[in-house]
Copies of this chain bind each other. A is one copy, B any other.
Amino acid sequence: MAEDKLFEKKISRRQMLKLTGAGAAGAAIGVSGLGGLLNVFGMTAEDDNPESKNKVNFYGTHQSGIITPVQTHIYFASLEVLVKSQAELKELLQQWTPMAVRLMNGEPIGEVSSNGFIPAKDTGEAGGLDASGLTLTFGVGPSLFDKNELGLSSKRPAELKDLPHFPKDQLDPAYTGGDIAIQACAEDPQVAFHAVRNLIRAASGKVRLKWSQAGFNSFPEKNKKRETPRNLFAFKDGTSGPDAASKKAMNDVVWVDKGWLAGGSYMAVRRIQMHLETWDRTALSEQEATFGRHRETGAPLSLKNELDEVPLDQKDASGEPVIPVDSHVRLAKEAKAQIHRRSFSYSSGTMDATGAYDAGLLFISYQKDPQQFIAIQKSFGRADKLNEYITHRGSALFACFPGVQKGSYIGESLFKTL
C-alpha cells in the first residue's frame, strides 16, 4: 500500500498548488473549494476543474448524465457487487467519488509516469483526450437490497423492484439486472469506456462487470446546432417529452422527491433488438403508420413539422384516425405518463448464423417512479405495431443517486439514517 500513500500525497500537492494559484489570482475560494485540501473519508476530495475543455461538472443537486443533453457515445455497465458489508460498499462509493470528479475533469485518476515497477494508477487510454463531455451516473438495482449481508433491506424504496414481465419480452439473463449501474456518456467512445474501466479496476474484488453495452447517437446539425438524432429505423428519436430545461417539468417527471433518493431518479434500461431486415422490407407508409410520424421530417402523420402537436383526434376521409390506434406515439401518449428518454443505438456483430444484425436501441429513460415507464410499456403491450419489428432482450432498473455535494460522496444519503 506504499504506493497508495505516495499517490495521495501527489494528488494533494497538486490540489494545493491549484488552490494556491486560484487564490493568488484573486478568485474566491468558498468553503466547498477548500474541500480540496481536506482528506475526507480517507480520500482527497477533488475539485471540478473549470479549466477542463468540454467539461460537465460533477458536483450539483443532481447527478450528471440524466438531464445533461444526450451525447454521441455511451458505455453502459451493470455490475455485480462482491463486497460483503455495508461499510465496504460505502467505502467503495467514497473511493469512486474523487475518481469520478477527475474522470469528468478529463484528468487521469492517478499518475501516469512511466518509470513505475507497479501498475499505473490510470489505465491511460484517454491520455491526450479532453473531458469530452463525460458524464457518470451511478445507480443501484433492486438486487442490491436483497443481499442480507449489506443490511440495506430497510432502505429499499417500495418503487425499486424488478420490472414486471411484459408480453413479448425475451430477456437474456446476460443483459438483465445488476446491483450497480454506471452510465458513462461522452462525446468520445474511448473516454466513456476508459471511465468505466478505471472505476471497475479501482474496485477490483469489490465489483464484477455483469453486462455492458456501448452505443451511439449521430446528430445532424443545422446552423451548428444539433438536431434530433435518428435511430436505426431512421426515425427521429427523442422529439417528444418533457422539457429538460424546465425545472418544473423535471421535478414533475424525473426527480424523486422523498426519502434518501430525493434528487435522484429511476433509470429504466432496455436492450431492444431492432429487426432491421424485417423493417427494411416494409413499405415506408407502413413504417410511418407504425410510429404515427413521417420518417423524413419527423412530423406527426398529416403534418409538416417535427414539433407539430400529434393530432390524436383527427380522422381521415374514411373516418380512420390519422394517427393509427396501434401506433407507437399514440399508445405512448395514451398511457398518460411521462418519461425522460435518453437512448443510444448499438450495432456490431450478428445474432446468429442467419446473419441477423446484432443492432438496436439501448433504451434508457429516467422517471421519478418506475410506474411511469411501466404504464407506457404496458400501453404498448401486445398492441404496439412496433412489436413486429423489435424484441426486448435486456432489462434493468436502477435507483440513481441524488447529486453529490463537495465534501460528500456518491450515494451518501443511502447510508444515512433518515
Give this chain's copy count: 2
| A349 → chain B closest CB, angstroms | 6
| A286 → chain B closest CB, angstroms | 8
In contact, A190 and B119 (Cβ under 8 angstroms)? no
| A120 → chain B closest CB, angstroms | 4
List CB contacts (< 8 Å) of A329-387 with chain B: 345-350, 353-357, 359
Picked from B189, B281, B355, the residue with its CB within 8 Å of the CB of A119 is: B281
- Give the distance in Å from the alpha carbon of A189 to the alpha carbon of B129 in the complex: 19
| A194 → chain B closest CB, angstroms | 9
In contact, A295 and B124 (Cβ under 8 angstroms)? yes
Query: With A188-B218, A190-B218, A285-B115 in contact, is A355–B295 under 8 Å at CB?
Result: no
A87 interfacial by beta-carbon distance below 8 Å: no
In contact, A128 and B208 (Cβ under 8 angstroms)? no
Interface-located stretch among A25-33, A231-239, A244-252, A406-414: A231-239
- Give the distance in Å from the alpha carbon of A126 to the alpha carbon of B123 in the complex: 34
Residues of B within 8 A of A190 (CB): 216, 218, 230, 232, 345
Query: With A112-B296, A125-B234, A197-B276 in contact, is A209–B350 under 8 Å at CB?
Result: yes
A326 interfacial by beta-carbon distance below 8 Å: no
- Give the distance in Å from the alpha carbon of A143 to the alpha carbon of B61 in the complex: 60
A116 interfacial by beta-carbon distance below 8 Å: yes
Question: In the complex, which of the residues A113, A114, A220, A357 has the most CB atoms of chain B within 10 Å of its own CB atom?
Answer: A114
Picked from B124, B189, B347, the residue with its CB within 8 Å of the CB of A75 is: B347
A257 interfacial by beta-carbon distance below 8 Å: no
| A269 → chain B closest CB, angstroms | 14
Mark contacts of A187-229 with chain B using CB atoms, 8 A cut-off: 1 yes-contact digit, 0 otherwise: 0111101000100010000001111111010101100000100
- Give the distance in Å from the alpha carbon of A60 to the alpha carbon of B127 in the complex: 37
In contact, B117 and A349 (Cβ under 8 angstroms)? no
Picked from B116, B123, B127, B211, the residue with its CB within 8 Å of the CB of A349 is: B211
Residues of B within 8 A of A117 (CB): 283-285
A153 interfacial by beta-carbon distance below 8 Å: no
Q: How many residues of A contact B (CB 8 A)?
A: 68
In contact, B234 and A294 (Cβ under 8 angstroms)? no
In contact, A347 and B214 (Cβ under 8 angstroms)? yes
In contact, B345 and A114 (Cβ under 8 angstroms)? no
In contact, A234 and B124 (Cβ under 8 angstroms)? yes
Residues of B within 8 A of A86 (CB): none
- Give the distance in Å from the alpha carbon of A127 to the alpha carbon of B220 in the complex: 8
- Give the distance in Å from the alpha carbon of A276 to the alpha carbon of B190 in the complex: 14
Residues of B within 8 A of A123 (CB): 234, 276, 280
In contact, A125 and B284 (Cβ under 8 angstroms)? no
In contact, A129 and B355 (Cβ under 8 angstroms)? no
In contact, A127 and B234 (Cβ under 8 angstroms)? yes
Mark contacts of A276-299 with chain B using CB atoms, 8 A cut-off: 1 yes-contact digit, 0 otherwise: 100011111101100000111100
Picked from B114, B174, B188, B348, the residue with its CB within 8 Å of the CB of A294 is: B114
- Give the distance in Å from the alpha carbon of A127 to the alpha carbon of B127 in the complex: 33
In contact, B218 and A355 (Cβ under 8 angstroms)? no
Picked from B112, B129, B216, the residue with its CB within 8 Å of the CB of A218 is: B129
In contact, B348 and A125 (Cβ under 8 angstroms)? no
A-B contact pairs, 23 of them (CB 8 A): A80-B355, A114-B284, A115-B285, A118-B283, A119-B283, A119-B284, A124-B230, A124-B234, A124-B295, A124-B296, A125-B233, A127-B296, A174-B350, A190-B230, A193-B347, A193-B359, A197-B280, A201-B280, A208-B355, A209-B357, A212-B357, A214-B349, A346-B348
